[in-house]
Amino acid sequence: HAVTWRSFDRRHRTLRRHHHAPNVQQTRAGAARRIPPVSLKVYVVTTALRRRLADAVASLTTRANVNPVAAREMASSMMTTTTRALAPVAARSASRGVRAAVRAGPSRGFAPSLGARRSVYCKAVEAPVNPTELKPPANLHGFELVREDYVAEYDSKVFFFRHTKTGAEVMSLSNDDENKCFGVTLRTPPANSTGIPHILEHSVLCGSRKYPIKEPFVELIKGSLNTFLNAMTYPDRTCYPVASCNLQDFRNLVDVYLDAVFHPRCVDNEKTFQQEGWHYELDAPDQEMTFKGVVYNEMKGVYSSPDSVLAREAQQALFPDNTYGVDSGGDPAVIPQLTFAEFRDFHGKFYHPSNSRMWFYGDDDVEERLKILDSFLSEFDRKEIDSTIATQKYFTEPKRVVTSYVAGEGEEADKSFVQVNWLLNDGPFDTETALAVGFLDNLLLGSPAAPLRMALEESGLGEAIVGYGLEDELRQPTFAIGLKGVAKEDIPKVESLITETIAKIAEEGFTQAAIDSSVNSIEFAMRENNTGRFPRGLSLMLRSLSAWLYEGDPVEILRFEEPLARLKARMAKEDVFTPLIKKMLIDNTHKVTIELNPDKELGKVQDDEEKAKVSAYRAGLSPEEIEKVVADTEELKRLQETPDSPEALACIPALDITDIPKEAKSIPTDVSTVGATTMLTHDIFTNDILYAEHLMDLHAVPMDLMPLVPLWCRAMQRMGTSKRSFVDFDQLMGATTGGFSLSPFTSSIRGSDDVSAYLVLRGKSTGAQAGQLHDLMAEMMLDAKLDDKEIFKQLVLESRASMESRVQSGGHSVAAGRLDAMDSVAGYVGEQLGGLAQLEYLKTLAKRIDSDWDGVVADLEKIRAAVVARAGSVTNLTADAKTLEATAGAVQSFLDALPAEGTGAATEAWSKDLVLPPVNELITVPTQVNYVGKGANLYKSGYELHGSAYVINKLLGTTWLWDRVRVSGGAYGGFSDFDSHSGMFSYLSYRDPNLLKTIANYDGTVEFLKDISLDKDELTKAIVGTMGDLDSYQLPDAKGYTALMRHLLKVKDEERQQRREEVLATTEKDFKKFGEVLEATRAPEARVCAVVSPDAAKAAMKERPDLDFKVTSVM
């Protein structure tokens, strides 16, 4: 499992993980400001970093100034995770989006000092010129050197240490990567579904011995330059990783995390357990008593998603006899059974150095790493801890599980899920087998042309694939595949199709073209090592842990060159895959089929059961005991809403503004005109890879056809061309390139009525294959077939299922998109391309295919004729000068092949009145939680952009909104988003138990800012943290794309410098002024949009008739 891969468009996974704070953000719904994925066949370096969120990407929290691209890049690395806290924290660590990048620069060429209180300028330690020559430190600081090695694939020197006193193990990788990484991981196998590991993971970062404040985690976010800061709960482990390019900042993060893990205050503070886990809440004796808690509400949101329910049922059915048979995240029905004593004892048992595995990576000093660790570990003694993950014994015969999910009304809800699951081995695979199984997984499902995937998608039996194959992060690997949106009578047909297709593949084998495509795709990804916004060092850590945690070799799992060479040699001589298929899938009796059926009454049953539990508890209380619950509720809220004193906050190490460069860094960009094309080139070292984007003017598409554009993009990539079949085309693309994609992009442009709107064709290849890349691009754009009715219908059903899942599990992004669409033309177009309007269009389109297929094909051809043209095009190329020169001819040939002008193109400019009617809207779906949005356009109320707005917005997310919406309100996330291009300021919440209370908290932001009092340290942290967002770490392809965005959105370096200076000069007075500006968000013109349950909508309409809510029922 060291080197297995997953294509970027995989949508679900069986492994369920929970994060301390959201990792990715998608601030705007649908296609608004969408940046397309790099490839149709993007692979990343480990299972943990390879799943596309698709449906679930919307369920990860949004945060200010982060573009969907960054979200999707991060999604490919940290997929289908449920996350802990607020959005603001999330994006900070996961990704900096285009909006942030456009404002400032991607550079990290500075080393700020530590703290306003102790300013010491620190430079990063230079990595050795040749890691192979690096010697172990003379002073090992209480460690013994167990192993010394070198991993050529990542040019990294490896030292494996063991702490003599405690037995703690350390993997130390040294190389020239400035993005330094650290992580401490503990095996934390739960015995039940009370969510104890998850609640503890939330709680340990709420204050520690050395940092005795409420939220050290949040304080780090405010004033850190981290490139990753989070924590994750797996089914059997808990990880606490950090990363930063700045040496002192990195060491600050390591220090705070180590103290949090080994000396948290939560084990002595029951209030933290109540806040993060669960408690009874009662505001007054005559009011309703409820369960409340961050994890409790988070998991209610998770359990509202049928995809999550399917994943849980599959894992627990495959592993009924070990820790994977329970939910480490917590079952809302079981969480209230957890006691504080059990919580405390769990920490005492598992959170000990003897149970830890620690990881360092980057260009910092090895001896200093050991010194830091020993300062924490030396006070502990070795302890025998049984955290071994038991092996699940094989079933002697297949099993079946039939269960239900909460369904809404309408025909769309009368659909079932069916998924077939296998346990593949009694432990982790050896390296070569892991690689072979990874190839097999890719051959079966890795692209739309893969035979098992293709058979299911083209069967007409369901709407979208679920399962998506190999999962190899746990002790025993599994394989899962199925369909959702299946009619109940077709469930046996789906099972038979899976069985028969696998048998047919085993009998016929794979074509050499399919194998060549898979080999090239995987090799390209391994050598490119492009982990997007996710730090490379942490991707390697997660890969290493998948062996290390189970007594495997943490070093060998990082290698791929020799195992790959051996496997390729075997494939040349023998049939590697048929024996694997027979052993692991056909003859495997450890097989579980999950049938998940809709139940329209289940939601009410669950609500009634929850209320009955609370009522039963309340009935057993005396009046005095009820008063105590009220008093405890009041005391908890008081503690939650009382900020730490400046004196207390001074314990947190902070960086100093004076060390931050005053000048914004630029990206090398040459702009020229080549015929009718604007050409941007970026001379950046890319290891002989060409990253190419070709943009065509989306304004050419008639507005009535705009909702069809996303389906047109998918159809262009799915039906083959006039020259070759879809399978042949897909396999040739995989065998010769890094892949390419096609998708729309839209954004407002500040200070202009214009809308930046393009069709983006984005691809990559080695320099030598640039000709093939562009030949295939041209073939697709000019000769793709669009007339396969059955394929197109399946694409529509898949898209509809994905959108429905997104509305239900990521309603905050849907609400944000609706608010945008009421405000701006770009927002309206984005709503047509990817918002709720797109979902309604898909429902109509699904019926139109049967009644007017010729008309649909004609519309698809109209889009191609209008938009595929040279006029108004932009080309963006990123590579070193030599590669750019060598590939210029291939690029020119592609451009010359395009028609000069589109035919039937729209000629009228988009009207400024092209917006949705402004209303307060409640979108109803079956859910146990709410997603609440409210917003207004600040530019329309007279505000002129000032860099201080970025600082203020960042601070709001880690103070007022964090405290009121999340900590006190119990939501999983609450945050604000300021789109500096359109002027739209939005508040959004995520998995929120409240609706009207949250709106009131949004409105309270105005007074919070007007009355704010900031000391120098607090202001400094806010500024430094904002600069960390602006000066984000980026890989070469991201730099080139950021420069493209700046060009499209007309953001000049002079303006970026101005905003930078304004950020650095932000004062308390700016906060108070912005409070006045935000009056617009509670003025009559401001609008509310929320995704809620039907019952929540009824209650809100009854309590606030003045808001005149419009109810839109979706599911």
Neighbours of 772 (CB within 10 A): 17
Residue indicated by tokens 């690096």? 134
Residue indicated by tokens 């299911």? 456
Which is it for strands 416-423 and 478-486: parallel, antiparallel or unpaired? antiparallel
Q: Which amino acid is residue 578, in one-letter code? A: T
Max intra-chain CA distance, the chain: 84
- Alpha-carbon distance of 786 to 1102, in angstroms, equals 50
Q: Which of 276, 281, 463, 1055 is catalytic?
A: 276
Within 8 A by CB and 6+ apart from 225, the residues are 108, 112, 244, 245, 246, 249, 655, 1024, 1025, 1027, 1028, 1031
Strand locations in 13-69 (E): 17-19
The strand order across the sheet containing 755-766 reads: 670-674, 677-683, 874-879, 689-697, 755-766, 740-748
- Alpha-carbon distance of 438 to 50, in angstroms, equals 12
Q: How far is CA 409 from CA 119, 598, 1093, 1115, in A?
A: 61, 10, 12, 6
Torsion sign, CA atoms 757, 761, 765, 768:
negative
Neighbours of 943 (CB within 10 A): 18
Within 8 A by CB and 6+ apart from 957, the residues are 63, 64, 86, 87, 88, 89, 975, 976
Residue pair 253/226 in contact by the 8 Å Cβ criterion: yes
- Alpha-carbon distance of 691 to 764, in angstroms, equals 5
Residue pair 877/884 in contact by the 8 Å Cβ criterion: yes
Q: Which of 169, 201, 457, 495 is catalytic?
A: 201
- Alpha-carbon distance of 75 to 533, in angstroms, equals 9
* Residue 637 host element (H or E): helix 623-641
- Alpha-carbon distance of 298 to 280, in angstroms, equals 16
Degrees (nearest 5) of the Cα angle 189, 190, 194? Answer: 155
Degrees (nearest 5) of the Cα angle 552, 554, 555? Answer: 125
Residue pair 446/381 in contact by the 8 Å Cβ criterion: no
CA 459 to chain centre: 30
Q: Is 201 a catalytic residue?
A: yes
Q: Is 412 a catalytic residue?
A: no
Q: What is the 3-state secondary structure (H, E, C) of 645-703?
A: CHHHHCCCCCECHHHCCCCCCCCCCEEEEECCEEEEEEECCCCCEEEEEEEEEHHHCCH
- Alpha-carbon distance of 143 to 165, in angstroms, equals 8
Give me the phi and psi of 1112, to 5 degrees please: -120, 115
Residue pair 922/969 in contact by the 8 Å Cβ criterion: no
Residue indicated by tokens 């009382």? 642
In the three-class reduction of DSSP (H, G, I as helix; E, B as strand; rest coil), residue 832 is classed as: helix
Both tokens of 77, joined, read 């690395």
Degrees (nearest 5) of the Cα angle 235, 239, 240? Answer: 150
Both tokens of 779, joined, read 């073939």
- Alpha-carbon distance of 56 to 75, in angstroms, equals 9
Q: How far is CA 143 from CA 163, 301, 352, 375, 378, in A?
A: 4, 44, 16, 12, 10
Active-site residues: which are they?
A: 201, 276
